[in-house]
Structure 1
């Protein structure tokens, strides 16, 4: 039996009880609630209705002939697990009730005689719970679909990736050995991912690594704590991750040459990059810096227009390092500037676009030698030994990262590096720390 309450309401209740008076009482109770109501006087009849109709919630009596409520709800659970199940029990048989709960996985059981308000609220809450479950499944499917769309979007990279297959396989070989510590592997993975993104950037390749290195040096110079230094370094490596969906033509343009539409997309890339990293708890701090690295000290930046010291110090550092390199590679201007002119332009915007403290640190840092005497020593690739510690990143011919600074070489890795140098006909010289004792 079917009773249509409202043609616009998709929620359907199935009431199963061998007593017509109980079914009538329940139907009268739920009529004002706007549900579509189906009824059956037996478990078998209820199963037949479920095969033919879309049902959201079942209320079943416990004691019925031929098939009791426990057996009925167990079958409902097996064939229609999405349907919410509620049991009505009118006798104190705790064993049967527990059996129904276990086998039928019911949402709740209600004793007869019931309280009208209680049963109405229970049904409402059960349907809301079901809605939330369905929404969770929908969002999961949506996320998976979006991931597939992202993969399709990146399909244009396939040709370039194929061109680098040999080098990437070499990188993977090094990464397979880079498992001494979780922290070190984590940082190496981020550097490699940053390098993969830069395969698209052509003449701007290496930008992320240079920004990360300068940002870390500025953070150290300003006395930032070790944890924040690492977050700033990671943010530098990944600060352009939000550009992953940009076309090759757009990536090749300097900011002043972008169309209004392209400029609008460009102004959203810091938010997109931060959002991409937010699910990773270890990268939340870095994501916050990426989001804010285009904020200006005078409040004229984006995305929030944050002013002055309210901008995270890591983002203020990242802004200076990013623009210092961007001016030299031509991404921020129609012209490319040498290092000294780029520094001069940044100093002119001290207190306006950039944090004065960070600009002062940049001036002091660039006036110092890049590496203090005794900080590292050069070792030809043929003479490297297990136990040596890299003082600088080890890079491939095109600038792709092979191994990160501070990595401790082992015997297998030594063989891999020497084999790589022979295969590529390279006269590699590694910079290692002087206090390491080879094994």
Structure 2
């Protein structure tokens, strides 16, 4: 039987009421509900918050507190632990059933282990404070929970939006079959990273990863392509650092999905250097790691992935966001992802005012070792970039001079064995070039690595 079912059977509060915000210069958007059978405590709490920009609700009747919450929709409920008839845990448990987003604080002068456990498990309590509680501590706790309340509401809205988009994806699955087939290589790569003993469990959320990847691609092909490049470099860096297979897998998945929190942001916010954005756009962009983390927290086996995503904008010197973590307290996956993402964004012109070459981007991140980035990760970067540079990207394939054909389009500058540029990026291959390439291949005695555009990508280009 739910606690709230017996609400209307008896209701005789000693005091109850409403006090509007006393600070008229800051109209309140939030209500705070105080619940305590001691009217003196109620009056003390009202005094503590009299100058805060909140509307105050109060009652000494725990049953009325449930009805007040349902009717007035407060952002935070501060409740005494021990009260006649219903305990604070009973009240907050009933509230959690219809208002899970509300911040919940238990105040008690009789804290014990069992009651603390019940408060957390049954009442879904966010803070557990002992009486007497300092005014500043209480005000700080309420301010924090109002922020949590807002994030929870935003998360629900984003989840609802994601659910609607997933439904659209299902309806248009036939149109997306071609794109899904192209992305299956990514899923196969993720599958190859799975530990065999955990494969059955992991398969449960692979479909979700695919949906999120497709959703990101629908929102912005450029953002999705960025995520795939970052994922490839992050995987190589993790392997260069000697991380085990499961860690490499988690870092790869986190890199694929790290920008999910940017869905819903306008293109100008996404692709403009941070320093050039206005304050509102900057504030919105700074929230994307936390938004992304909340999406994956409830999915099985995504705890580490969501942590990496939350902290991939932390800095090694502690000047990053959202938590200001420093050094080794930042997850190694987040430290790797920070290097890989900035290396790619510098080349896209999203991080600085102008696009950098791959060489200059590598120099930029290397010069920030020990400040923005983990020195250990930076030490692994040169060898990782060498391997990354030899891996064909999604739109290209690697051929030798023997298999190179007239009409192919180079996707990278090609430097010959003599150290001179033999072919420039986007140059169309002609017969004279093929002859020169094949002669060079005979001289060095082994196939050369020539990167050209895939036929399908070439067709789409035209």
In the alignment, what sits opposite 2:360?
A: 341
- Determine helix, strand or coil for the equivalent of 2:16: coil
In the alignment, what sits opposite 2:97?
A: 137
In the alignment, structure 1 residue 241 sits paired with structure 2 residue 201 = no
Alpha-carbon separation, structure 2, partners of 1:299 and 1:340: 27
In the alignment, structure 1 residue 306 sits paired with structure 2 residue 325 = yes
Query: What number of residue pairs does the alignment pair up?
Result: 275
Q: State the shift of 1:234 in Å.
A: 1.4
In the alignment, what sits opposite 1:268?
A: 287
Alpha-carbon separation, structure 1, partners of 2:304 and 2:245: 13
TM-score of the pair, normalised by structure 1: 0.51
In the alignment, what sits opposite 1:230?
A: 249
Alpha-carbon separation, structure 2, partners of 1:298 and 1:141: 34
In the alignment, structure 1 residue 208 sits paired with structure 2 residue 227 = yes
Q: State the shift of 1:281 in Å.
A: 4.2
Alpha-carbon separation, structure 2, partners of 1:238 and 1:150: 15
- Determine helix, strand or coil for the equivalent of 2:343: helix
1:82-97 equivalent positions in 2, closer than 5 A: none
Largest Rg, 1 or 2: 1
Alpha-carbon separation, structure 2, partners of 1:281 and 1:184: 10
Alpha-carbon separation, structure 1, partners of 2:175 and 2:222: 19
Select 1:318's aligned residue among 322, 325, 337: 337
Alpha-carbon separation, structure 1, partners of 2:236 and 2:17: 63
1:175-223 CA distance string (max 9 Å, x none)? 8x99995535634541441232232234333111111111111101110
Structure 2: where are the runs of 5+ without partners? 1-8, 19-36, 40-60, 65-80, 103-148, 192-198, 392-396, 399-454
Q: 1:182/1:370 Cα in 2 relative to 1: closer, same or farther (>3 Å)?
A: farther
Q: 1:222/1:249 Cα in 2 relative to 1: closer, same or farther (>3 Å)?
A: same
1:216-257 CA distance string (max 9 Å, x none)? 111011101112111111111121122224234322323222
Q: 1:264/1:366 Cα in 2 relative to 1: closer, same or farther (>3 Å)?
A: same
Alpha-carbon separation, structure 1, partners of 2:207 and 2:170: 22
Root mean square deviation of aligned Cα: 4.6
In the alignment, structure 1 residue 150 sits paired with structure 2 residue 158 = yes
In the alignment, what sits opposite 2:202?
A: 183
In the alignment, what sits opposite 1:168?
A: 176
- Determine helix, strand or coil for the equivalent of 1:323: helix
- Determine helix, strand or coil for the equivalent of 1:360: helix
Alpha-carbon separation, structure 1, partners of 2:232 and 2:371: 24
Alpha-carbon separation, structure 1, partners of 2:169 and 2:88: 48
Alpha-carbon separation, structure 1, partners of 2:341 and 2:388: 21
- Determine helix, strand or coil for the equivalent of 1:296: coil
Alpha-carbon separation, structure 1, partners of 2:388 and 2:153: 51
Larger RCO (alpha carbons 8 Å, 6+ apart): 1
Alpha-carbon separation, structure 2, partners of 1:55 and 1:342: 61
1:37-61 CA distance string (max 9 Å, x none)? xxxxxxxxxxxxxxxxx9959xxxx
1:350-394 CA distance string (max 9 Å, x none)? 22211111112111122347569xxxx99xxxxxxxxxxxxxxxx
Alpha-carbon separation, structure 1, partners of 2:362 and 2:304: 28
1:127-181 CA distance string (max 9 Å, x none)? 54542332121234889986773367569979x9799754424566898x99995
Q: 1:300/1:371 Cα in 2 relative to 1: closer, same or farther (>3 Å)?
A: same
